[in-house]
Amino acid sequence: MEIAVILAGGVGTRLYPASSADRPKQFLSFDESGRSLLSRTVERVEKIVDTVYVLTRPEYADQIPEHAPHATVLTEPEGKDTGPALVYAAHRIREREDDPVLLCVPSDHHVDRSFASIAERALRVARETDQLVTLGIEPTRAATEYGYIKPGEDHGEYYDVAGFYEKPDPGAAARYIYNDFYWNAGVFSWTPTSLLEEARETELAPLVEALDVGEEQRGFAAIDSVSIDYAILEETDEIAMVPAEMTWDDLGSWDALQRVHETDEDGNVTTGDVLTIDAEDCVIAADETSHISAVGVSNLTIAAYDGRVLVVPNTDTQRVRDVVEQLRE
């Protein structure tokens, strides 16, 4: 049984002010279709698998059916990032489904049609090798917001993974690119049994043990927030990479819009009621209550949502995370 697990419990802080704690990015739309990133993800994966689960934290569970009416909603006891969430999903699905193999997909991605056949290959490799399988993308820049994979032996359909390095500093990222490492696409395939076996060797072991005895709440309360990348993928040897030749982007920060959307003749990407005069290479987004005029500026990101305005150079959009942190304090 092939099962998609769509990760839809993140907050998406770097898309502030479009995203907020009660309106995370998976529920937002960034194109003319008006369809949310989550609903587009469901549409993409339901053709590939037998059943679709959407995995989220309790705060967002009520909003999921609106975006994914036919999916089963799986709610982890507490938002503790993707490590605990994916361990929880593996544990629950192993109890509920017959001989499952999972395709775990984020809900913040932009991909093309080749995704389906590549995902099918990942499912096959996970089933046949019992390894944790991740998709690898050929990098185009020294991004610091992704994981990097050092490919090992070539097995035709997949590579062994000789090293996994999550969110490196700029110097390391440049070195990885130079040495032909891949980006971790954040799309994974594994059987629940393989994932849980590996998790038992890591900092997530106490959580697996708590789940084994039916103590979900206690297990989550006692575990630190950690992504699957740091908790398991950087630690395990049982990992394989399926190279993915496809258009791929993570719509995690404002600069991604410039990469995935068509620009006007001056290089601007705009959504909502926006007027540009002599503006170049800007990303400008206004909600339905806002109007933005940009005159004589270049390489700026300007976003206005709910009476909150963000202005940041395109080169610094990763720093929007700091804005959200300071506002929280």
| Residue ranges in contact with ligand GDD by CB under 6 A | 7-10, 26, 55-57, 76, 79-82, 85, 106-108, 146-147, 166, 183-186, 229, 250, 252
- Measured in degrees and rounded to the nearest 5, phi and psi for residue 69 equal -60, -25
Q: Using CA of residue 223, residue 229, residue 231, residue 233, what is the dihedral sign?
A: positive
Minimum Å gap between C-beta 260 and ligand GDD is 13
Residue 179 and residue 292: Cα distance in Å, rounded?
43
- Kindly indicate which of the ranges 14-22, 106-114, 154-162, 187-195 contains the residues binding Mg ion, using the contact rule CB under 5 A: 106-114
| Binding site partner of 107, from Mg ion, ligand GDD, none, Cβ cut-off 5-8 A by kind | ligand GDD
Binding residues for Mg ion, total number by CB under 5 A? 3
- Measured at CB, which residue is nearest to ligand GDD? 9
Minimum Å gap between C-beta 85 and ligand GDD is 4
Strands 51-56 and 291-295: unpaired
First to last CA, the chain: 46
| Binding site partner of 91, from Mg ion, ligand GDD, none, Cβ cut-off 5-8 A by kind | none
User: Per rule CB under 5 A, is residue 250 in the interface with Mg ion?
Assistant: yes
- Provide the token pair at 57: 């934290």
Q: Please give the full DSSP string across 262-299, using - where no structure is assigned.
A: ---TTS-EEESEEEEES-BS-EEEE-TT-EEEEES-BS
Q: Is 135 left (phi over 0), alpha (psi -120 to 50) or beta?
A: beta
- Measured in degrees and rounded to the nearest 5, phi and psi for residue 41 equal -65, -40
Minimum Å gap between C-beta 183 and Mg ion is 12
x/- map, 40-69, Mg ion, by CB under 5 A: ------------------------------
| Binding site partner of 26, from ligand GDD, Mg ion, none, Cβ cut-off 5-8 A by kind | ligand GDD
Q: Name the residue nearer to ligand GDD (CB basis): 87 or 283.
A: 87
